[in-house]
């Protein structure tokens, strides 16, 4: 009997403690401010760069081809990206109108693209290049006024202390069990370096948690790790690409290869939270440099994807895989420039906005800033466009690009815009002034 009571009270305690623990994260004022600033930025560029660039078949080559970890590591001895120029990268990215760069400091291959004390398997100690590319990038970002976010993999196909999950099982390491305490300490040591030596970091972007999807009880000890990040830089946002709704301690919800609410890639069935949203997407079909992949999305597709994200209240993090010689692919640089031309004209209808009161539709959607509602028409085979704005009063409607008036009619259900012609632009933006 006593045993039973004891067990019951223990159960009760657990039930009480669980939600308490889940609610323990209270973002600071600085963090909340950083979230709003992040939302305002709307557009970032993702850079996937590591030793895998040399093999030119994407960042998953090591596990996909079961490459031996000791053989793979020899790539480092030949890594000399002679054309790397952080100033050139940052300038090309800035020209696109992107407001931040997310850089892979250490991807699943396990190679650190920064100067770290905690492993010699890094770009300074293991390559003839010997330069801390992250430091050069961070300094340039500061100089040219663009944010820097850091991708950090939770999994590692090289380290012997990393616990095996679904991937990286064929790289020849001796022990599937790894040594979690050792690996966890290593990660936190590196995170401390990243948040100490490179100036203000906008976000830490984790990836790899899905690798333990067959072992749902695996304890990644995230809350302590997240707390460390928030302690070191309170305004640094924590994001984790775990393909689930956010966990306590996270400040951003990530989507991979799909806009929130869509799931064409099969990674995004999760509910949408109230946190700032970010969708990452590839500019061709691969994250890391892939020599045979010239299948770049057109500038029109890229702009429409960015607008599609904005009307869904999400940021777009568009990826580029730099080449092994240190340059950004020429096609990517061209796309950046063309997106930038568009953003110079239309940026006002994107930056600093939130998803508008008319939600996403097959024809497009809206963004909103104060009493301005921007109607983004991406695909409409009609001159009339109905907007369900029954509870709003539209004072004025005009083409954003030249200010020319747009006629409109009101009925009980809302407003119908009467355009001069069927829209053919990448994005025909109509600015509505609401009362």
Which residues contact ligand H79 by CB under 6 A? 48, 59-60, 166-167, 207, 210, 213, 241, 256, 267, 280, 287
User: Closest separation between CB of residue 287 and ligand H79, Å?
Assistant: 4
User: Closest separation between CB of residue 267 and ligand H79, Å?
Assistant: 6
| Residue placing its CB nearer to ligand H79 in the complex, 39 or 290 | 290
Of all residues in this chain, which one has the CB nearest to ligand H79 in the complex?
A: 210
> How does strand 364-369 pair with strand 354-355?
antiparallel
User: Closest separation between CB of residue 1 and ligand H79, Å?
Assistant: 47
| C-beta atoms surrounding 382 within 10 Å | 11
User: Closest separation between CB of residue 280 and ligand H79, Å?
Assistant: 5
| Alpha-carbon torsion angle 310, 288, 70, 191, nearest 10 | -30
| Residue placing its CB nearer to ligand H79 in the complex, 241 or 428 | 241
User: Closest separation between CB of residue 257 and ligand H79, Å?
Assistant: 8
User: Closest separation between CB of residue 282 and ligand H79, Å?
Assistant: 9
Distance of CA 44 to the CA centre of its chain: 8
| Residue placing its CB nearer to ligand H79 in the complex, 115 or 256 | 256
| Residue placing its CB nearer to ligand H79 in the complex, 69 or 374 | 69
Six token digits for residue 390: 């029954």
How far is the C-alpha of 385 from the C-alpha of 408, rounded, in Å?
A: 9
| Residue placing its CB nearer to ligand H79 in the complex, 74 or 166 | 166
User: Closest separation between CB of residue 43 and ligand H79, Å?
Assistant: 17
| Residue placing its CB nearer to ligand H79 in the complex, 211 or 251 | 211
| Residue placing its CB nearer to ligand H79 in the complex, 77 or 266 | 266
How far is the C-alpha of 158 from the C-alpha of 28, rounded, in Å?
A: 36
């Amino acid at each position: 009997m006593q045993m039973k009571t004891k067990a019951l009270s223990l159960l009760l305690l657990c039930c009480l403690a669980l939600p308490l623990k889940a609610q323990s994260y209270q973002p600071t004022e600085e963090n909340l401010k950083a979230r709003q600033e992040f939302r305002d930025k709307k557009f970032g560029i993702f850079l996937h760069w590591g030793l895998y660039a040399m093999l030119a078949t994407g960042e998953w080559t090591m596990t996909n081809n079961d490459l031996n970890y000791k053989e793979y590591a020899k790539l480092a001895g030949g890594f000399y990206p002679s054309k790397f120029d952080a100033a050139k990268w940052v300038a090309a990215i800035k020209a696109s109108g992107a407001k931040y760069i997310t850089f892979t400091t250490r991807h699943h291959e396990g190679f650190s693209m920064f100067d770290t004390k905690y492993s010699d398997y890094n770009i300074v100690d293991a390559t003839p290049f010997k330069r801390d590319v992250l430091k050069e990038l961070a300094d340039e970002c500061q100089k040219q006024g663009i944010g820097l976010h850091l991708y950090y993999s939770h999994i590692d196909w090289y380290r012997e202390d990393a616990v095996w999950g679904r991937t990286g099982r064929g790289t020849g390491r001796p022990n599937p069990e790894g040594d979690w305490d050792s690996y966890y300490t290593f990660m936190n040591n590196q995170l401390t370096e990243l948040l100490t030596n490179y100036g203000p970091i906008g976000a830490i972007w984790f990836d790899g948690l899905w690798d333990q999807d067959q072992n749902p009880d695996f304890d990644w000890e995230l809350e302590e790790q997240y707390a460390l990040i928030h302690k070191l830089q309170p305004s640094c946002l924590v994001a984790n690409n775990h393909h689930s709704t956010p966990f306590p301690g996270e400040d951003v919800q990530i989507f991979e290869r799909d806009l929130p609410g869509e799931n064409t890639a099969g990674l995004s069935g999760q509910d949408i939270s109230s946190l700032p949203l970010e969708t990452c997407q590839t500019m061709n079909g691969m994250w890391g440099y892939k020599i045979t992949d010239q299948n770049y999305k057109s500038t029109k597709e890229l702009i429409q994807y960015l607008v599609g994200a904005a009307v869904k209240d999400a940021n777009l993090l568009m990826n580029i895989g730099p080449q092994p010689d240190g340059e950004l692919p020429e096609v990517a640089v061209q796309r950046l420039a063309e997106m930038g031309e568009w953003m110079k004209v239309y940026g006002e209808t994107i930056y600093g906005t939130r998803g508008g009161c008319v939600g996403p539709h097959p024809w497009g959607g809206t963004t909103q800033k104060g009493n301005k509602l921007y109607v983004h028409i991406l695909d409409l085979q009609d001159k009339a466009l109905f907007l369900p704005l029954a509870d709003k009063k539209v004072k004025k409607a005009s083409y954003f690009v030249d200010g020319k008036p747009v006629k409109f009619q009101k009925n009980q259900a809302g407003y119908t815009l009467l355009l001069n012609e069927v829209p053919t632009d990448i994005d025909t933006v109509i600015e509505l002034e609401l009362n």
